[in-house]
Amino acid sequence: MDAAAAVRTIECLSGSLHPLDVLVRDERGRRRWIVRERPVGGLLRLTKFRALLPLFLVLQGPPGRFRIRRSPGLFRSSYTVAGPQGGVLWRMTGGLFHWRIEDRGGDPVGEATFSNPLILGRDRGILKARNGVVWAELELRPRSFFSSLWEGRLALSDRGVEWELPAVALAAIRIAWKQSR
């Protein structure tokens, strides 16, 4: 990506045993997006088995309120992003390195690749359209080596500003994955 049209800073405000709380700020440091987990599962959510539970995240930003949902199960690789009226806008399916981004009809529109499959250490991701145009670059790092608090940077290209919602959603999903949610 040559030059970023918009840069967002990402800050995870909650440790891994608390409901996920992520703040995304614009270039001036103003709150742009807030991502909050809606906890489910009672005491089970405080154990390693919480990865088997469904995950519900709420994204609140300038265009409105959106929801991310992951179904329960061992394979935590399929997420849906729903709009304010509840209709599916995006589907994100992936694994350790590679994610596929689909529109509401299930047609692939983009992909994301990440550099680090581990929950420790820096992670870098590139989101791009099917034609190879880079939408955004994501960089996440823990605040300290064993920290579950993550921070980072999301750089949107001039052609990727309209893809801010799926980029922020994927950043939140990646942080939740890094915290073993």
Q: For residues 112 and 170, is the Cβ–Cβ distance under 8 A?
A: yes
CA distance 178 to 174: 6
CATH code at 4-178: 2.40.160
Residues in contact with 135: Cβ distance below 8 Å, sequence separation at least 6, in sequence order: 110, 127, 128, 129, 156, 157, 159, 160, 163, 167
* pLDDT score for 1: 57
Residues in contact with 81: Cβ distance below 8 Å, sequence separation at least 6, in sequence order: 59, 66, 67, 68, 88, 89, 90, 91, 92, 165, 166, 169
* pLDDT score for 89: 94
Indicate whether this model's pTM tops 0.85: yes
The candidate with the shortest Cα–Cα distance to 39, out of 21, 51, 60, 55, is 55
Residues in contact with 172: Cβ distance below 8 Å, sequence separation at least 6, in sequence order: 20, 22, 35, 57, 59, 68
* pLDDT score for 39: 84
* pLDDT score for 155: 93
Domain boundaries, the chain: 4-178
**Tokens 């992909």 found at:** 111
What does the pLDDT profile of the chain (181 residues) look like in tens digits?
556 788 999 999 988 888 899 999 999 999 999 999 998 877 767 776 777 788 899 999 988 999 999 887 666 678 999 999 989 999 999 878 899 999 999 999 999 999 987 777 788 999 999 999 999 999 998 877 666 778 899 999 887 667 899 999 999 998 888 887 7
DSSP 166: H
